Amino acid sequence: MNLAQLGTLVLMNLVGAASPGPDVMLVTRMATRSRRHAMATTLGIHVGVVFWCSLTVLGAAAVLNAFPAALGFVQLIGGAWLMWMGRGMLIAGWAERGSPPRNLEDAAARLGPLRSAFWRGLTTNLSNPKIVLFLSAMIAPLLPAEPGAGVAVLVIVALSLSSLALFTFMSLLISTPTMRQKLLNAGPWIDVFAGIFFLIAGGVLAVRGLGELV
């Protein structure tokens, strides 16, 4: 694999990572309340990214493509989890309408411990296997049929780090004190919107999974 091919992979990966989806929505929601929670969420998401990238580069994505029922099962379970998370965000945001966070410290405290933000990021990413389909379609034409260990590691690292850099930049940009202060009173409504988004995204994913299973 030459530098031009690797650069093309990284560019396509960044476009896909920046497209609206559960990962982007979750990081945005966290960053409007706490930089530390946004970064913890970003780290969780990218543990999942490394997992999916590794599966794709090592050929496991072909298994999901060859057995639609397996992909359907993952989509069904993942969709159900996203809907459960969305329900929690919606309920919490609706309950906070009359009592928005008093200050930035209160806004961060309401998100819970950092480890919860990490696990939420990880499970959100793992719940959506579309990254495998995207990566397999993107990587397959540019990789040799049996890539060596060096090429495989290079691709996994390049894709993972480029996506991590994008989400880190997003987290830092949105979570500036000025930005968070401006969005403080809108926090409950951001949660409501994020909850609705997760409910819809999870529902679509679950329906697709059922379609593969029946």
The 3-class secondary structure across the chain, one letter per residue, is CCHHHHHHHHHHHHHHHHCCCHHHHHHHHHHCCCHHHHHHHHHHHHHHHHHHHHHHHCCHHHHHHHCHHHHHHHHHHHHHHHHHHHHHHHHHHHHCCCCCCCCHHHHHHCCCCHHHHHHHHHHHHHCCCHHHHHHHHHHCCCCCCCCCHHHHHHHHHHHHHHHHHHHHHHHHHHCCHHHHHHCCCCHHHHHHHHHHHHHHHHHHHHHHHHHHHC
Asked if residue 36 has pLDDT above 80, the reply is yes
Q: What is the pLDDT of residues 143-178, one digit of tens each?
A: 665 667 787 788 889 889 999 999 999 999 999 999
Asked if residue 190 has pLDDT above 70, the reply is yes
Q: In which band, very low, low, confident or very high, does the pLDDT at 69 lie, cut at 50, 70 and 90?
A: confident
